[in-house]
Copies of this chain bind each other. A is one copy, B any other.
Amino acid sequence: MYFASDNWAGAHPRINDALARQAGGYAAAYGASDLDRRIEASFNDLFGQEVAVFFVSTGTAANALALASVNRPGGVSFCHREAHVIEDECGAPEFFTHGARLVPVDGDDGKMDPERLRGEIARFPPDFVHSGQPMAITMTQASEIGTVYTPHETRAIAAIAREHGLPLHMDGARFANALVHLGLTPHQMTLDLGVDIISFGATKNGCWCAEALVFLDPEMGRDLPFIRKRAAQLFSKSRFVAAQFEAYLADDLWLDLARHANGMADLLREGLSSADHAQLAWATVTNEVFAIISNERIRQLRAAGAQFYDWHPPRSCRHRIGPDESLVRLVTSFATSSEDIERFVELTHRPCA
């Protein structure tokens, strides 16, 4: 019962096969192989136009390099208060942008509230050197807490970005999970709504290491080849990443895997919603489920082998957490089995001893 994180899972067999196929033979290094070029080009199909694609080693790299590519001195970027970039990347965005600040924006359900975003941007008047200058907005889709920006909500954020001349970055560590939930194409969830740059994550959804930084306007990524190399993020045997993406995108594997993960979370949500000793902390729609469970029950679950993390209650949590209970996060993945879900749910339904 592994619900600690989707990155605890390994790699899908078809990803593994793709890696194995690269083991033999020779190919040009540093992203110059035919395979690298071909897979980069396949992103054009994915987004319905020519885009610029850069493979990097981690999601943090994709996010930090995205922000580095659009920041200038005194830069300030805006993100949700609970976003990965501000909470979990050890200052990588600040480091790679040479000190640009991340300004937290409040908003329910792990999503920036447009009015609050507008208010935060307004604190940085143009040409007022003392406070700095707005440079970018970064949103997380799906969000850190299992929710998803609707097209309407993304459009509202994008409109503010356009109004202030700011590029809009989407941290898509769980891009596929949001996509299948919304039933949109990559093109529809980004370009059509006003997104400019995407951290396109595949590691959490079945690869072992496949992250891409995508600029929908290639010109915006003009300096990225140098930014990436200077950041020590240019793989010599880059084709092993390309190969993972090839298998990932082929025959909609990535969408199937995300659907599976979301579906497993649906089972979990359903099971927990009727449990006596657990309740959903807030509504989620992707592969993350947050539950408030009694401490005793948590101990039993862990004793039975369930793996999951306690979670710091975000401002978005609307339920009161009692003294004898805790908030926990449960994450499903491409590898989660319905048996594990059933067993976990069954344990939450069982009467306490």
A interface residues (Cβ-Cβ under 8 A, vs B) = 2, 4-5, 7-13, 15-16, 19-20, 22-30, 56-61, 64-65, 68, 72-76, 87-92, 94-102, 123, 127, 129-133, 203-204, 208-209, 223, 225-237, 240, 307, 312, 335
Interface CB pairs A-B, < 8 A, 15: A2-B26, A10-B22, A11-B240, A30-B129, A30-B130, A57-B233, A58-B232, A60-B234, A76-B91, A88-B131, A89-B229, A95-B230, A98-B99, A130-B229, A209-B240
In the docked arrangement, what's the CA distance between A24 and B333, Å? Answer: 13
Given contacts A73-B230, A89-B229, A97-B99, 13 further A-B contacts (CB under 8 A): A2-B26, A5-B29, A19-B19, A26-B335, A64-B232, A73-B226, A87-B130, A89-B130, A96-B232, A123-B312, A129-B234, A133-B226, A203-B237
Q: Judging by beta carbons under 8 Å apart, are A237 and B7 in contact? A: yes
Name the B residues within 8 Å of A4 (CB-CB).
26, 28-29
Whether A7 touches B29, Cβ cut-off 8 Å, given contacts A129-B226, A226-B90, is yes
Least Cβ–Cβ distance between A264 and chain B, in angstroms: 14
In whole angstroms, what is the CA distance A235 to B225 when docked? Answer: 21
- Beta-carbon nearest neighbor of A204 in chain B: B236
Q: Is the CB of A236 within 8 A of B91?
A: no
**Which of A102, A229, A230 has most B Cβ within 10 Å?**
A230
| A10-B25, A23-B16, A204-B236 as given contacts; A130 in contact with B98, CB under 8 Å | no
Closest Cβ of chain B to A229, distance in Å, is 4
Query: Could you say which residues of chain B place their CB within 8 Å of the CB of A64?
Result: 232
Q: Which of B20, B58, B228 contacts A16 (CB 8 A)?
A: B20
CA of A56 to CA of B28, assembled, Å: 22
Q: Which of A2, A94, A203, A232 has the most CB of B within 10 A?
A: A232
Residues of B within 8 A of A130 (CB): 30, 87-90, 229
> Shortest Cβ distance from A177 into chain B, in angstroms?
16
Complex formed: what's the CA distance from A227 to B92 in Å?
Answer: 9
Q: Which residue of B lies closest to A64 (CB)?
A: B232
- A102 CA to B24 CA, complexed, in Å: 37
Least CB distance from A74 to B in Å reads 3
Q: Which residues of B contact A97 (CB under 8 A)?
A: 99
Residues of B within 8 A of A233 (CB): 57-58, 61, 232
Residue of A89, A99, A100 contacting most chain B CB atoms (<10 Å): A99
State whether B22 touches A11 (Cβ < 8 A): yes
A189 to chain B, nearest CB (A): 23
Residues from chain B with a CB closer than 8 A to the CB of A19 are 11, 16, 19-20, 208
Give 7 closest A-B pairs by Cβ, nearest first. A74-B226, A94-B99, A61-B232, A95-B99, A57-B57, A7-B236, A90-B229
- Measured CB to CB, the closest approach of chain B to A108, in angstroms, equals 21
In the bound complex, CA of A298 to CA of B312 (Å) = 47
In angstroms, how far is the closest chain B Cβ from the Cβ of A190? Answer: 22
Residue among B12, B92, B204, B230 making CB contact with A91, cutoff 8 Å: B230
Cβ contacts under 8 Å, A237 to chain B: 7, 10-11, 203, 208-209
Chain B residues closer than 8 Å to A98, beta-carbon distance: 95, 98-99
Question: Is B95 in contact with A91, judged by CB distance below 8 angstroms?
Answer: no
Docked pose: A99 CA to B98 CA in angstroms: 6
- Report if A92-B209 is in contact (Cβ < 8 Å); known contacts: A5-B29, A23-B12, A223-B73: no
A227's nearest neighbour on chain B, judged by CB, is B73
